[in-house]
């Protein structure tokens, strides 16, 4: 399905409407995709970035129906900040992913995180929220972020996949909050499910989801193999690795690619295969 212009609601199936925010970029494709689920009462998934026009489009599409829940897949700034404005406008609770976890090493967040996100209720893995004619179940899928949830729509077989699996690009996995080992485990978790279609945060709906997930796992394995080959050849500098591995990529995306290479290296270090640290050279364990 081709994508409608920003602000124009698109019905993807009965009870699922997509609305794309006007924040296109190399990181967001044509923009963040918000979803309105339900017929008589509503859930809104990923309201999007702070944007008055997108808020007005969401409220128009909700069309006076009660909003049971505002759900966020994760708390990157292109997904969750508008939740607070939508809550104020509709009187609906924010339910879904946790605020970003902190750990012993200090805040895991960087500038891409929505530090103001404040959920009224956190949905743990396997827990559901229901309206009159829909139910959504949280599927914990850490990796892109530590707090990432997908949401499965009962009866439909649809999975709102956020930024975990997207229809246009692979996810960015940026340490310290992004974790390649978790990301791979979360892809494997989706392979064990039987979802019919994915509605991602960015990009087209995914109509053969398991094939795409399998392909993404293979892609990451081949990236890992390329990193190990470069290390064996004595190349331990992340920026130099990116120039070799991503020679075809828009150079604006090289810093993001460097985060993914770092995520692979940290995962390999956890597995005892390499030694090194961020901003230091990496080497394979002899
Ligand atoms: Zn994200």
Written as tens digits, the pLDDT of the chain (286 aa) is 456 688 899 999 999 999 999 988 877 888 999 999 999 999 999 999 999 999 999 999 999 999 999 999 999 999 999 999 999 999 999 998 988 765 544 555 667 888 889 999 999 999 999 999 999 999 999 999 999 999 999 999 999 999 999 887 778 899 989 999 999 999 999 999 999 999 999 999 999 999 999 999 999 999 999 999 999 999 999 999 999 999 998 888 898 899 999 999 999 999 999 999 999 999 999 7
Ligand 1 centre from 89 Cα, in Å?
24
**By three-state DSSP, how is residue 72 classified?**
strand
Ligand 1 centre from 202 Cα, in Å?
9
Q: Which residues contact 56 (CB under 8 A, 6 or more apart)?
A: none
Ligand 1 centre from 163 Cα, in Å?
5
DSSP string spanning 138-149? EEE--SSSTT-E
Q: Going by DSSP bridges, is the β-strand pair 197-200/158-162 parallel, antiparallel, or unpaired?
A: parallel
Q: Using CA atoms in the order 152, 97, 9, 212, what is the torsion angle rounded to 10 degrees?
A: -50
Ligand 1 centre from 144 Cα, in Å?
7
Q: The whole model's pTM is what?
A: 0.93
Ligand 1 centre from 284 Cα, in Å?
31
To which H or E segment does residue 106 belong? strand 106-107
Ligand 1 centre from 108 Cα, in Å?
14
DSSP string spanning 24-50? -BTTTBT-PEEEEE-SSSEEEE---SS
Ligand 1 centre from 45 Cα, in Å?
14
| Strands of the 16-20 sheet, one edge to the other | 10-13, 16-20, 33-37, 42-45, 67-72, 94-96, 121-122
Ligand 1 centre from 74 Cα, in Å?
7
To which H or E segment does residue 57 belong? helix 52-62
Ligand 1 centre from 285 Cα, in Å?
33
Nearest Cα neighbor of 96 from 37, 54, 40, 39 is 37
Ligand 1 centre from 146 Cα, in Å?
11
Mark the residues whose beta carbon lies below 5 A from ion ligand 1: 76, 163
Ligand 1 centre from 237 Cα, in Å?
26
Report the alpha-carbon distance of residue 80 to residue 212 in Å, rounded: 26
What integer pLDDT is reported at residue 2 of this predicted model?
54
Ligand 1 centre from 80 Cα, in Å?
10
**By three-state DSSP, how is residue 230 classified?**
helix
Ligand 1 centre from 92 Cα, in Å?
23
Ligand 1 centre from 64 Cα, in Å?
29
Ligand 1 centre from 149 Cα, in Å?
11
For residue 73, give the DSSP letter. S
- Cβ(55)–Cβ(79) below 8 Å: no
Ligand 1 centre from 232 Cα, in Å?
32
């Amino acid at each position: 399905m081709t994508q409608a212009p920003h602000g124009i609601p698109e019905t993807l199936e009965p009870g699922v409407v997509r609305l794309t925010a006007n924040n296109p970029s190399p990181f967001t494709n044509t923009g963040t995709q918000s979803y309105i689920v339900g017929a008589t009462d509503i859930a809104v998934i990923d309201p999007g970035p702070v944007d008055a026009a997108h808020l007005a489009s969401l409220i128009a599409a909700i069309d006076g129906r009660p909003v049971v829940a505002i759900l966020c897949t994760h708390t990157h700034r292109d997904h969750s900040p508008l939740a607070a404005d939508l809550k104020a406008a509709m009187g609906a609770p924010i339910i879904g992913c946790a605020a970003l976890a902190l750990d012993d090493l200090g805040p895991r967040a960087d500038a891409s995180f929505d530090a103001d996100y404040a959920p009224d209720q956190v949905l743990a893995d396997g827990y559901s929220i229901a309206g009159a004619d829909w139910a959504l179940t949280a599927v914990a899928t850490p990796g892109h972020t530590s707090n990432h949830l997908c949401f499965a729509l009962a009866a439909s077989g649809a999975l709102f996949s956020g930024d975990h699996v997207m229809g246009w690009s692979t996810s960015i996995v940026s340490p310290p909050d992004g974790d390649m080992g978790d990301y791979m485990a979360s892809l494997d978790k989706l392979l064990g499910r039987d979802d019919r279609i994915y509605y991602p945060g960015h990009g087209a709906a995914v109509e053969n989801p398991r094939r795409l997930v399998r392909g993404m796992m293979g892609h990451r394995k081949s990236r890992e193999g390329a990193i190990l080959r470069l290390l064996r050849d004595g190349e331990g500098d992340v920026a130099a690795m990116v120039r070799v591995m991503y020679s075809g990529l828009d150079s604006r995306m090289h810093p993001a690619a460097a985060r993914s290479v770092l995520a692979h290296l940290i995962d390999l270090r956890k597995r005892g295969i390499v030694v090194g640290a961020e901003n230091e050279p990496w080497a394979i364990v002899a």
